[in-house]
């Protein structure tokens, strides 16, 4: 994903172990590696890694982009930072809108209760549509 060799990735992780707590990364057990090997057809006697592989959570993958030095990892890290900035700006706009609505609601509460309820419903995240259960002919 980050266009680096496995040994470079492992080396970067071991040099920055404090950046990868257990909820960011863990090492597979021998049993889990055997299951993975049987499912993917990895060579069991020649080539490949001799050590147990690491598994990364979403946060661990993001942290990898900050410790690796490949151009791809740098680009991913920049995009992650930009996404956080956009998210913060979006939340700030939403918070400002909610404050303005609360002020207007206090001022005109009785007269426009229906309008405020409708606006609040529009601001709420949409509920996930459930797929109908059953067979469709």
Domain spans in the chain, listed from the N-terminal domain onward: 1-69
Under the banding of pLDDT at 50, 70 and 90, the label for residue 25 is very high
pTM of the complete model:
0.56
Cα(88)–Cα(130) distance, integer angstroms = 30
What pLDDT does residue 48 have?
63
What per-residue string of b and e applies to 46-65 under the rule 16 or more CB within 10 Å gives b?
eeeeeeeebebeeebeebbb
Residue 109 is predicted with a pLDDT of: 63
Model confidence pLDDT, tens digit, residues 28-67:
998 988 888 777 665 555 556 678 889 999 889 989 988 9
The span from the first CA to the last CA of the chain, in angstroms, equals 43
Report which of 86, 84, 96, 87 is spatially closest to residue 123, judged by C-alpha positions.
96
Mean residue pLDDT of the chain comes to: 82
């Amino acid at each position: 994903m980050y266009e680096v060799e496995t040994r470079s990735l492992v080396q970067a992780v071991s040099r920055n172990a404090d950046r990868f707590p257990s909820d960011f990364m863990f090492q597979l057990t021998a049993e889990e590696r055997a299951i993975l090997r049987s499912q993917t057809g990895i060579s069991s006697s020649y080539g490949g890694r001799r050590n147990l592989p690491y598994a990364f959570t979403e946060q661990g993958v993001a942290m990898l982009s900050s410790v690796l030095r490949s151009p791809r990892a740098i680009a991913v890290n920049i995009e992650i930072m930009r996404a956080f900035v956009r998210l913060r700006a979006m939340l700030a706009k939403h918070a400002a809108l909610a404050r303005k609505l609360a002020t207007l609601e206090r001022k005109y509460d009785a007269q426009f209760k229906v309008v405020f309820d409708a606006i609040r419903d529009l601001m709420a995240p949409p509920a996930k549509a459930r797929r109908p259960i059953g067979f469709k002919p």
